[in-house]
Structure 1
C-alpha cells in the first residue's frame, strides 16, 4: 500500500482524526528503523515536536515533518554537504531562503539528510557517512540515486513528507525515479539558491521530492512563493512528444516495459503522442567537450578547499571537480554562448508540444555492491553515473523544468516517467503530471 501523502495526512489532522505529533512519531519510527541507517546525518526530533505543537492551525504544512539535504543552511547547525572536508565548518547564522519558506509555511525540519559529497554524482554513494539503501528492495541493498539520496529515502519510507534537495543534472529526479516517488525540478530561476552550497551556479536548482504530484505542486508553491495556475484540461487536450534520439537508448527490460505500457495508456486516454527526432541532444557532447559548467564552476568554488583538505575528498568526486582546472576563460564564455544557441534550437524543435515524455533514467537501481567505493569498481561507477544522468541532464542544459513520477507495476522495481519542457512551462508540466498520475493510479497494471 502506498504511504499517505501530505494532503491526505493534513486532511486527517484538520478533521481531528490525527495530530502533527502523531505524524512526527510515525516519522521518527521510520527514520530510526535499522533499514534506514545512513539516511540522516543529524536529527532533531524533540525540537521538531515542540515546533509542531507551536504551529498555528491551518498553515499549508500543518506542522508536518520535512527533511533537508545537508546542502542547506539551517540556523545553529553546520552545513557539511556530505563531506568530512567541512567537518569544522561554522554553524549557520540563518536558514537558507528555501528552508525559511518551508518553516514559515508550517513545515517542521526533522533532520539533515545524507547526500553524495558536494552533490557531485547521480549514484548516491557516500564513503564518509555511508550510503542509504533504496527501500524498494528489502532483499538486495540497491543505490538510492543521488545526489539527494537521503532525501529520497526519507520520503519513500515515511520519515518526511517533503525531502528538500537540489538538482544540477538530475539530483532530484534520479533518486525519485529509483525510489518510486515524485521529484519536481522547477525552472531554476523560480526558487532561491541563497544559503545552499553551490555545485554549478549556472545549473543548480533548489527543489523537492514528495509522495504525490499534488504534494509536489504545494511544495513548489511554497518554495517559489507563487501560485500554480491550475488547469482541468484532460489528457486528450495535450500534445506530447517522445524524443527518439538518445532518450530511449539502452533501456533495461523493466524500464522499457513500463515506459511502453505508460505510453499505451496515455494514447488510450486520448493524449496526442508524436515521436520527434530531437537530434539536438546529440550536440551536447560537443558543446561540453571542454568540461562543462559543473566541473568549471565547482572547481572555482573548491580550489582553495582542495589545497587544504583535498586528501579528505571522495576520490571520485575530487577527480570530477579537478577536471574544471583545465578550462580556459574563453572556453567558458563560448560554452555559455553555445548553450544559449542550443536552447533556441531545442525550443524551436518542440514548438507546439505541451511536453516531452521520456524514461527518467534508463535502468532500475543497481546493487550498491556493484558501485561501492573501491578502485576496482570505478569503471562500473562512472558508467552507471553517466547513464543515470543522461536523460535528466538534458533538461538542466535546456534551463527547463521536469517532473518524474512512478510508472512501474506493483511487482516491478521503481521506474520513473519524466515529463519535461523548456523554461517557465512549470505549470503545464505540473498539471499534465496530475493527469498522468491519476490515470496510472486508476488503471489496471496489466
Structure 2
C-alpha cells in the first residue's frame, strides 16, 4: 500500500526522503501503463525544478506532486476542460485561486488531469483524449477488463490511485470527486461549496459547482481542505460512539448491486462493534430530488447559458453525449428556472429540519461497482440500433452513479467518500454527509470511521 501525503511529507521534513526523490517516484508512476490517459498534459521538467528547491520541503505540502483537473486555469496554459472545442482559446493569464493556494502551500504541479468533457458525466469516459481505467488506490490493479474510472474527475482519481500525485485537484457538481473516489478506493471530499473559490475554472453549474480534492486518506483530505479553503479544521476529540449517525432509506438504498449491499452492511456492523450508534431514517424527502432534475435541472440550464455561443461555432466537435445533455437547457424558460430555484430552496429547508438531530448520515457513495469501459463506450462503425443500445446503457449507468451523490450538491451540503472494501474486493465507497457548514464534523467522523475500518 502506498504512503499517503501526511506520511510522505513527514519523511521529507525529517530528512528521511526528499521532495526530488518523491517527485521521481511520482513521475515514474505517471509514465506507467496504469496511468494511461490520466493526463492531458504533463509538466515533468518543471516539476523536477520546483521539487529541487530547498525551501519547498518546509511548506505544508512539502514539494509533493499534485495533479490539476483540466478545467482549472494554470498561468500560461490553455484550459481545454477535456474538450477539443476550446483548442483555440487563449492561454490563462493567471492561476485559478485553488491552484495558487496549492502552490503557496508547497505543492508541485505534475500535470493536467484528464476529465469528462466539460465535466458533464459521472462515468468518466472521454472520446477525445481516451479513458483511463480504474485502479484501486489501496490495493493496486483490478482484475479483469478495464473498468470505468468514474467522473468527471477521472484523471485526477487515477493520478492519485496510481501514485502519480498525492492530491488530485478536482471539482464536484453532482458527485465528480466522490464517484471516482468510490470506484478507485480513494477518499474524495466535497466541501460546502462556498468555502473554496471557483474562480478560474470552466463552470458546469455555478449554483452547484464545488472545488475539492481526491486523496489517499481522510487525514490527507483534511489537509487538502485546509489549504484549498484557507481555513483550519476545528479538531474534535469525540470518539465514534459520541456521534449521532443515521442511515437514510428511500432513494439511497434502492437498486444496490449485491457486492455494494454486502460491503455496506458489513461496514455498518463493523462501525457498530466499534461503538457507533447508528439509527435508520426514512427521509422520504430525498425522493423529491427527481423533481429538481426534470428537464436536466440546474445543470442543464446553467451549462447551456455558458455553452450556447460555443455550441453555435463548435457543436460538432463536442462529445454527442455531453452535447445532448447541455442542449436540454435550451428549452428551459427563465420563469421555469426561477421556479426551480425556489423549489430547491424550500426542499433544502425541509431537509435541514429533518437532519437537525443527527451529526452525519451514512450511505453507499454509489449503488454499483464500476462497469467495464467497453460496456459504455460508443459503438463505432455499427448500426443505429447498436449505437442506441450502447447509449442507453451509458445514460442508465450515469444516472445510477450520480443518484446518491447529487443529493448532497442539491442540498448545498458537504460529503466525504472513503473506501470500505477489503483487499481482493471490488472498490466500494462509504459516503458520510450532512447539510452546509457541517464540514468539520463530517471530516472528524470520517477520521474515526477510517480508524475503525482499518482495524477490521
Indicate yes or no: 2:128 matched with 1:128. Answer: yes
In the other structure, the counterpart of 2:183 is 178
Unaligned stretches of 5+ residues in structure 1? none
| 4+ long deviations beyond 6 Å | none
Matches within 5 A, 1:292-331: 292-331=297-336
Question: Which whole-Å deviations, capped at 9, do the CAs of 1:276-331 have from their partners, x for residues lacking one?
Answer: 11100111112332431000000000000000000000000000000000001111
How many angstroms apart in 2 are the aligned matches of 1:352 and 1:285?
25
In the other structure, the counterpart of 1:432 is 445
Indicate yes or no: 2:353 matched with 1:348. Answer: yes
How many angstroms apart in 1 are the aligned matches of 2:2 and 2:260?
23
In the other structure, the counterpart of 2:286 is 281
Indicate yes or no: 2:394 matched with 1:395. Answer: no
In the other structure, the counterpart of 2:11 is 12
Which has the larger displacement, 252-261 or 184-193? 252-261
How many angstroms apart in 2 are the aligned matches of 1:288 and 1:183?
24
Indicate yes or no: 2:418 matched with 1:418. Answer: no
How many angstroms apart in 2 are the aligned matches of 1:390 and 1:123?
12
Any conservation in 1 of the 2:196–2:229 contact (CA below 8 Å)? yes
In the other structure, the counterpart of 2:255 is 250
In the other structure, the counterpart of 2:161 is 156
Which has the larger displacement, 184-193 or 241-250? 241-250
In the other structure, the counterpart of 2:218 is 213
- Report the TM-score, using the length of structure 2 for normalisation: 0.96
Any conservation in 1 of the 2:181–2:429 contact (CA below 8 Å)? yes
How many angstroms apart in 2 are the aligned matches of 1:330 and 1:438?
49
Aligned with 1:417: secondary structure?
strand
How many angstroms apart in 2 are the aligned matches of 1:116 and 1:56?
32
Indicate yes or no: 2:60 matched with 1:60. Answer: yes
- Report the TM-score, using the length of structure 1 for normalisation: 0.98
In the other structure, the counterpart of 1:197 is 202
How many angstroms apart in 1 are the aligned matches of 2:79 and 2:295?
31
Q: CA RMSD in A?
A: 0.8
Q: How many residues align?
A: 442
How many angstroms apart in 1 are the aligned matches of 2:77 and 2:189?
27
How many angstroms apart in 2 are the aligned matches of 1:377 and 1:351?
43
Indicate yes or no: 2:81 matched with 1:81. Answer: yes
Any conservation in 2 of the 1:127–1:314 contact (CA below 8 Å)? yes
Unaligned stretches of 5+ residues in structure 2? 137-141, 380-386
Deviation at 1:154, TM superposition (A): 0.3
Any conservation in 2 of the 1:181–1:406 contact (CA below 8 Å)? yes
In the other structure, the counterpart of 2:268 is 263
Which has the larger displacement, 102-111 or 269-278? 269-278
How many angstroms apart in 2 are the aligned matches of 1:288 and 1:298?
14
In the other structure, the counterpart of 1:117 is 117
Deviation at 1:254, TM superposition (A): 1.2
Indicate yes or no: 2:455 matched with 1:442. Answer: yes
How many angstroms apart in 1 are the aligned matches of 2:56 and 2:453?
36
How many angstroms apart in 1 are the aligned matches of 2:150 and 2:253?
19
Deviation at 1:178, TM superposition (A): 0.1
Deviation at 1:138, TM superposition (A): 4.4
Indicate yes or no: 2:26 matched with 1:27. Answer: yes
Deviation at 1:174, TM superposition (A): 0.1
Any conservation in 1 of the 2:25–2:164 contact (CA below 8 Å)? yes
Question: Which whole-Å deviations, capped at 9, do the CAs of 1:400-430 have from their partners, x for residues lacking one?
Answer: 0000000001110100000000000000000
How many angstroms apart in 2 are the aligned matches of 1:67 and 1:418?
23
Indicate yes or no: 2:395 matched with 1:382. Answer: yes
How many angstroms apart in 2 are the aligned matches of 1:356 and 1:255?
17
Any conservation in 2 of the 1:290–1:331 contact (CA below 8 Å)? no
Aligned partner of 1:229 among 231, 234, 247: 234
How many angstroms apart in 1 are the aligned matches of 2:292 and 2:188?
27
Aligned partner of 1:359 among 355, 360, 364: 364
Deviation at 1:139, TM superposition (A): 3.1
Aligned with 1:207: secondary structure?
strand
